[in-house]
Structure 1
């Protein structure tokens, strides 16, 4: 792998302006726009603003790792590319939260699934949060540009691996719809290690697309540099205070860097973005900041088959079913999207459940195990109010998100559905991820056992790689933290461009929703700041 080209390192050799905070930061920096973060929202924003001729600075807390560093080793990838080494959790420890923490953010370590925001979600936002101009037809061109820029297309370059194909097989036998997932890849080697960084640069993440184009156009990048707080006076931000940090997040010194800009963009992702605004004591007259923070809580089910599945090999996600999303009205039981989970050994050790001898026995079935997941669509029901981002004593963020009885009821239904699909696909035995679970050898046995599960925190095994909300958009300042154009309701020169804008979860993998929405907001911001019309693609 080391002999493959590494365009990012080649750019650095040509003189891209990238500074490692651990090696020292200047005391003062001036620019037109500073962007906090370097993930989906930040990357799209940086590319559009630099196209408009604006002087852009990107501030990233995580390290810079490029394709040369990606070696398909879980032990290194989780520690260096993920928030809290892959161990970020909600406050009560019931859900593991997977988010990126590196140049390129979560786009570097996601599994490439690319879905537009469902029309039903956009309609709910219009009806409940005053977002009148965000319907499917209006958003379509913005999604389309992002899809073209990032090479998103249905994954038909290679057959789905068995881990994904069995989802389609079981769904078809039950009369459930299933389709091919669009992925943002170009020249994919079908290695399956998307969650550890793409060693071939096939994944069209911000690390290989918009961040390089922005640096080539003169943008400056500061990494291992934490945005500590905004200096706010009246209705304007006057500066951003940053501190240099080591890879482990510790400050290297008490020295700070102050960035002064005409406009400030927060793109740190849900959890970190509201936390930054809270540390800065940003105006919040209606107590909305950090509230309605949503996940797609994820339930898992493992099916053991006669044949080898080898779920660690091949595109991690290529088949899905929305049958249980479209048939779930907001006032009814929670809806969920079915997908497959890659089965790398470290991840599999968690998803198969148990410990010690019990886990060792389950690992005997590892090569023959197919793992299915269900993304639960939170935020559409009166009993589905999400969580709240608060600050720890040291100013770091915490997510207070407790699974309600409504969400837990959705977990039970999802476990039933996944077991039925797996048996329909030919599974010899199935084990849902639940403390009371064991292997079941028939659908009838599984149905009776799952129906009797106690559904409460710590009994249900789950997690989420999709965190949304906390700085939601709203048609009025009583409905949202920011305006429909992304600008903060009370701070005229600060915008939010990331998944924290969503008033609910969206019911689909969120990267394209962030790209499309940010494309629209950043295009408008570029016009207001420079007077120029710009676009992601010509």
Structure 2
């Protein structure tokens, strides 16, 4: 695989403008038309469209530039270099572990490629509750279609791996629909190591699509560079103050850089985007900034089968079920989406409960283990208000996300649903990922035990790879931080183009929602700034 073409290294050899870290020192000052904070889903789409419009673009990324040559399918290399806080970012009470990318391409470089359009019930809720009248499904279809063509989103035509096939088998036997997931890949080798960076460049992440397209059009990319603050002058952002950082995010000890821009696009991802606005002390007249941050809290159920499942082989997520969303009113008891995550040794060992001999025995059964996860659809009920991003003393972000009884009731019901499906698929043992759970050998035993378990924070292992909200979008400033066009309500030359603008969680893996909605926002911004019409291509 080391002999495969590496488009990023080829671009660097052609003279892409990349500075920071090993790519050379930053200038003392630089001027541009648009400065973009981040390089993930929203940033990448914005960068390509704004550069296509002929605007001078500077992209500022806190993480390193890594490419296919650097991706060796090793967790020990991937987590420290490609993820926020080495894939161990946690909420304030340590009850939820959060996976977020921290590299060029952001989470798109390390996600599992699952691609869903924003569900109609979610958009309908936004229209009625947040004044987003022009966010109906039909209005967004053209923007989704463009993004899908650009990023090769399409049906997964290969057979699911066993980990996913067991979800389909168990669900189908219970009369529950379990269709296939669309993926944004091209020429996929079906390796299964998507979460460690794609070594074959099959994943159509921002790393190999929109960021290179922007660089080919003359954009400048700063890497290993943190935007410490936005410098405000009146109702305008005057400059970005940026500092070089080491691979681990600590200060590199080099001088700060000022980026002067006509317009600023913040797209650092939920948690980091609201944190930057908070550090910059931007206007927040209604106390909304950083609030209503959502996670799709995830609970997991493991199962042991007689034969090897080998959940690390093959495309990581290809089957899902929305049965427990579609049968639940969106503003009723919390619903959940079921998927089958990939299983790799470090994540497996650090997520499953137990220690010592008990954990050793579980690890010994690693090849025969299957896993299901449930994404809880938070943000649609008054008892599910999400969390709040605040700042530590050093200015770094901290998310406080209370796991309320309302949310944990959904976790219990999800444990029950997953166990029933796993037994229906032929599991010999089911183990909910909970500190007090035991290995259950029948559905009857599991049902009785899960019903009695104390489903409490810290006892229940909760994780998340989907962070949304914190800079919510709304039709008026009393309900949102940004306008329906992505512009900040109080700051004329500031836009937010990432998942932090979502007023609720999506209820599905959010990357395609970001691609489609930001496609619309960035196209509009490009038109306002340059007078030119641009299209993802």
Residues 198-238 of structure 1, C-alpha deviations (whole Å, 9 max, x = no match): 00000000000000010001000000000010110111111
Residues 37-72 of structure 1, C-alpha deviations (whole Å, 9 max, x = no match): 000000000000011111100000001100000000
Instruction: List alignment gaps of at least 5 residues for structure 2.
Output: none
Match of 1:72?
Answer: 73
Within a 5 Å distance, the mapping from 1:266-415 to structure 2 comes to: 266-415=266-415
What is the distance in 2 between the residues matched to 1:362 and 1:189?
29
What is the distance in 1 between the residues matched to 2:298 and 2:414?
9
Match of 1:445?
Answer: 445
Structure 1 residue 529: Cα displacement? 0.3
SS state at 1:503 partner: coil
SS state at 1:180 partner: coil
What is the distance in 2 between the residues matched to 1:378 and 1:407?
8
Moved over 3 A (4+): none
What is the distance in 1 between the residues matched to 2:150 and 2:318?
20
What is the distance in 1 between the residues matched to 2:258 and 2:413?
51
Instruction: Check conservation: 1:170, 1:421, Cα contact below 8 A.
Output: yes
Match of 1:421?
Answer: 421
Structure 1 residue 363: Cα displacement? 1.5
Instruction: Check conservation: 1:300, 1:351, Cα contact below 8 A.
Output: no
Instruction: Check conservation: 1:328, 1:335, Cα contact below 8 A.
Output: yes
Within a 5 Å distance, the mapping from 1:168-317 to structure 2 comes to: 168-253=168-253, 255-317=255-317
1:62 aligns with 2:66: no
What is the distance in 2 between the residues matched to 1:95 and 1:291?
17
Residues 107-128 of structure 1, C-alpha deviations (whole Å, 9 max, x = no match): 0000000000000000001111
My pick for the range that moved more, 404-413 or 345-354, is 345-354
Instruction: Check conservation: 1:468, 1:501, Cα contact below 8 A.
Output: yes
Structure 1 residue 435: Cα displacement? 1.2
What is the distance in 1 between the residues matched to 2:247 and 2:125?
40
Instruction: Check conservation: 2:58, 2:221, Cα contact below 8 A.
Output: yes
Residues 264-298 of structure 1, C-alpha deviations (whole Å, 9 max, x = no match): 00000000000000010001000000000001000
Instruction: Check conservation: 2:121, 2:330, Cα contact below 8 A.
Output: no
Instruction: Check conservation: 2:330, 2:380, Cα contact below 8 A.
Output: yes
Q: TM-score, normalised by structure 1?
A: 0.99
SS state at 1:215 partner: helix
What is the distance in 2 between the residues matched to 1:376 and 1:61?
30
Structure 1 residue 180: Cα displacement? 0.4
Structure 1 residue 525: Cα displacement? 0.2
What is the distance in 1 between the residues matched to 2:487 and 2:269?
16
Residues 152-189 of structure 1, C-alpha deviations (whole Å, 9 max, x = no match): 01111x21000000000000000001100000000000
Residues 448-471 of structure 1, C-alpha deviations (whole Å, 9 max, x = no match): 000000111111011000000000
Structure 1 residue 356: Cα displacement? 1.3
What is the distance in 2 between the residues matched to 1:50 and 1:213?
8
1:88 aligns with 2:105: no
Instruction: Check conservation: 2:468, 2:501, Cα contact below 8 A.
Output: yes
What is the distance in 2 between the residues matched to 1:58 and 1:90?
28
Structure 1 residue 254: Cα displacement? 5.5
What is the distance in 2 between the residues matched to 1:52 and 1:199?
31
Match of 2:113?
Answer: 112
CA RMSD across the alignment: 0.8
Instruction: Check conservation: 2:415, 2:432, Cα contact below 8 A.
Output: yes
Match of 2:126?
Answer: 125
Residues 364-417 of structure 1, C-alpha deviations (whole Å, 9 max, x = no match): 221111100000000001100000000000000000111010011110000000
Match of 2:43?
Answer: 42
SS state at 2:311 partner: coil
Instruction: Check conservation: 1:301, 1:432, Cα contact below 8 A.
Output: yes
Instruction: Check conservation: 1:436, 1:459, Cα contact below 8 A.
Output: yes
What is the distance in 2 between the residues matched to 1:355 and 1:64?
36
What is the distance in 1 between the residues matched to 2:533 and 2:314?
41
What is the distance in 2 between the residues matched to 1:68 and 1:337?
35
1:500 aligns with 2:500: yes
Instruction: List alignment gaps of at least 5 residues for structure 1.
Output: none
What is the distance in 1 between the residues matched to 2:409 and 2:70?
42
What is the distance in 2 between the residues matched to 1:250 and 1:363?
34
What is the distance in 2 between the residues matched to 1:202 and 1:294?
30
Instruction: Check conservation: 1:147, 1:153, Cα contact below 8 A.
Output: yes
Q: TM-score, normalised by structure 2?
A: 0.99
What is the distance in 1 between the residues matched to 2:408 and 2:204?
35
What is the distance in 1 between the residues matched to 2:413 and 2:444?
15
Structure 1 residue 348: Cα displacement? 1.2
What is the distance in 1 between the residues matched to 2:239 and 2:509?
34
Structure 1 residue 21: Cα displacement? 4.3
SS state at 1:179 partner: coil
